[in-house]
């Protein structure tokens, strides 16, 4: 547990009023911005195109800016004048150059920008499994990004907190929703790495963790593992998604695990399809390591957050209707007549 006297938290929280959020228009970023707006903190939200910010434009005290945060001079101008920076920028798919740009070069530029402007406080959202010796490019690049910021912190230039979430779920996620949609289209799910383990965490809990870190200076210097209340295999996640979405009479589709060689072939074929792949060979490498809490770092409970279970949240947005929700629908229809 992180020791944090209430009076000290209140004083520090009052000082954090002007936040630069990198990745504000993404899945997690929208939820972070909503929580900061409720605190009446000013939020700067740079984005490549202003249209990307349409989901957060109505938030009070939020300033969207069209800017290239990968340009170091631009990033330095953005950082100046803020009390803290939250870095949420991440990609799941790409080649070595893409991972380097998003996960390593950007944190390096951010560290230099903070040093140049005197902005010390940074909350950096990395990933569970980030390790320089990990099997996947994604995990190794995430580790290198952490090192870039931790080096600056060790030199006394940054007040840094690192958050490492597991698979993040929520109403707009691209994982649990995808598993459910595919089962509406396919008679059977052919699944690579079916026994890969995850500890899914609710996007609202991750966003709350970011805000708690900004409010509490006792989180400075900490790496926090943001994991959910339940551990699932990939097979179980796919099965539950189908069941919660009501597919096949709430049974879901049959799930057939593929041998390793066929799984790699499937991922390779998916990489050749246009658009962002559903699965890549690098994803398979990442899944060879359990994506669950290591126990070596504090968890969400250290921030006073009780992690929500996937089983308590996902059915509400995947479309399962129990008797009560069915009656509620009938009441609403009757009331509208």
Q: What is the pLDDT of residues 289-309, one digit of tens each?
A: 999 999 999 999 999 999 999
pLDDT score of 15: 60
Q: Which of 229, 220, 231, 232 shows the shortest CA–CA distance to 299?
A: 229
**Above 80 in pLDDT, residue 157?**
yes
Instruction: Indicate the average pLDDT of the chain.
Output: 91
pLDDT score of 3: 57
**Above 70 in pLDDT, residue 6?**
no
Find the range with the poorest average confidence among 3-17, 176-190, 247-261, 302-316.
3-17
**Above 70 in pLDDT, residue 242?**
yes
pLDDT class for 276, splitting at 50, 70, 90? Answer: confident
pLDDT class for 329, splitting at 50, 70, 90? Answer: very low
**Above 80 in pLDDT, residue 328?**
no
Position with higher pLDDT, 332 vs 201:
201
- Element (H or E) spanning 124, and its range? strand 121-125
pTM: predicted TM-score of the whole model, two decimal places? 0.90
Token readout for 255 is: 């799930």
DSSP 299: B
Asked whether 27 and 174 are in contact (CB, 8 A), the reply is yes
Instruction: Determine the average pLDDT of the residues in 151-170.
Output: 97
Determine if residue 214 is left, alpha or beta; phi over 0 gives left, psi from -120 to 50 gives alpha, anything else beta: alpha
């Amino acid at each position: 547990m992180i020791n944090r006297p209430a009076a000290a938290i209140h004083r520090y929280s009052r000082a954090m009023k002007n936040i630069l959020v990198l990745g504000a228009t993404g899945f997690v970023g929208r939820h972070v911005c909503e929580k900061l707006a409720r605190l009446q903190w000013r939020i700067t939200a740079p984005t490549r195109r202003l249209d990307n910010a349409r989901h957060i434009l109505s938030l009070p005290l939020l300033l969207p800016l069209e800017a290239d945060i990968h340009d170091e001079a631009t990033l330095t101008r953005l950082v100046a004048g803020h009390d803290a920076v939250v870095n949420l920028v991440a990609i799941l798919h790409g080649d070595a150059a893409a991972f380097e740009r998003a996960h390593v070069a950007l944190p390096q530029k951010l560290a230099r920008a903070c040093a140049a402007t005197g902005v010390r406080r940074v909350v950096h959202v990395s990933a569970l499994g980030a390790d320089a010796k990990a099997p996947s490019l994604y995990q190794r690049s995430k580790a290198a990004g952490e090192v870039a910021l931790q080096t600056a912190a060790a030199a006394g230039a940054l007040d840094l907190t690192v958050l490492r979430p597991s698979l993040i779920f929520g109403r707009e996620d691209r994982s649990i929703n995808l598993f459910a949609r595919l089962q509406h289209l396919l008679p059977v799910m052919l699944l690579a790495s079916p026994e890969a383990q995850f500890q899914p965490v609710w996007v609202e809990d991750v966003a709350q963790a970011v805000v708690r870190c900004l409010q509490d200076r006792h989180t400075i210097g900490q790496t926090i593992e943001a994991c959910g209340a339940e551990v699932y295999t990939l097979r179980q996640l796919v099965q539950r998604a189908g069941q919660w979405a009501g597919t096949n009479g709430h049974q879901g589709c049959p799930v057939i695990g593929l041998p390793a060689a066929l799984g790699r072939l499937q991922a390779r074929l998916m990489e050749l399809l246009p658009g962002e792949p559903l699965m890549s060979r690098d994803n398979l490498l990442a899944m060879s390591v359990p994506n669950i809490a290591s126990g070596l770092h504090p968890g969400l409970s250290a921030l006073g957050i009780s992690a929500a279970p996937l089983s308590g949240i996902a059915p509400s947005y995947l479309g399962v209707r129990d008797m009560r929700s069915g009656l509620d629908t009938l009441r609403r229809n009757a009331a509208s007549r």
